[in-house]
Amino acid sequence: MRDKSSRYSRYFTYIKPITKLPIIKTYGSTIFTLVIMVIFIIYAIKPTVETILVLQKKLANSTQVLEKVNQKAENLSKGKQNYDNLDPNIKIRISSAIPDTAELKSVIQTLEQTAKKYEASISALQIQPLTIAAKEEDKVSNLAEISFIFNVEGEYAKLISILQDLKSSGRLISIDNLSLSKLSEGGGLVMSLSGKAYYLK
C-alpha cells in the first residue's frame, strides 16, 4: 500500500511543477479544450469522409455504367438505322433465315430436300422437344434454338455436298457435331449430325 502511495506521490512531484508553469496556468484550459475539440472533430469527420469516399466511388461506377448503357443504346439505334436502310430483298432473306416463329416445317423441308437433291436416303430425323410460347407484342425478341439430329446415307462426295448446301441454305442452320461411319453393307457411308436452326421468340 505504501509502495503505491509513494509511486503516486513521486508522479505528483513530477507533474506538479509542470502545472505551475506560467504558460500552463495561462493557456492550459485553452490547450486542453483545443485538444479535446480536435479529437472529437477527427472522430466526427472520419465517418463522414469515409461515406463521401464510398459515394464518390459509387458515383464513378454509376457514371461508367451509364456511359456503357448510352453507348449500347447508340449502337442499337445505328443498327436499326442500318437495318432500315437495307435492300428489301436482303431483309426477306434475313427474315427467312431467322423467322419470327419456329416454323418447324421449313427446317424439316430444308433437310429433306437437301438429301433428296443429292439422292441420299434419310435414316433418321429427330427434332428435340421444343416449348413454343405465344409471342407477346412490344417485347424485344430473343434468339431461340431448334435442336435436331439428322442421319443420312450416301456416297462421300454427295454427303459433303449436303453439308455445303446446309451451310448456305435459306434457313440458318449450324452444325454442332458430325460423324461418318461405313455402312455394314455396300460401299456407302452414314453421316450423323446434330445441329440447330434458329428463330426469334
pLDDT, tens only, 12-22: 565 566 666 66
Nearest to 169 by CA among 91, 96, 104, 105: 96
Task: List pLDDT tens digits, range 149-184.
Answer: 999 999 999 999 999 999 888 888 999 999 999 987
C-alpha cell read off for 124 = 433418321
User: In terms of DSSP bridges, do strands 189-200 and 143-154 run parallel, antiparallel, or are they unpaired?
Assistant: antiparallel
Q: pTM of the full predicted structure?
A: 0.57
Task: Bin 183: left if φ > 0, else alpha if -120 < ψ < 50, else beta.
Answer: beta
Q: Does domain 98-200 have CATH number 3.30.70.60?
A: yes
Three-state SS at 194: strand
Backbone angles phi, psi at 191, to 5 degrees: -105, 120
Spatial CA neighbour of 102 closest among 124, 134, 126, 137:
134
Predicted local distance difference test score (pLDDT) of residue 67: 92
Distances (CA, A) of 20 to 13, 25, 34, 61: 11, 6, 20, 58
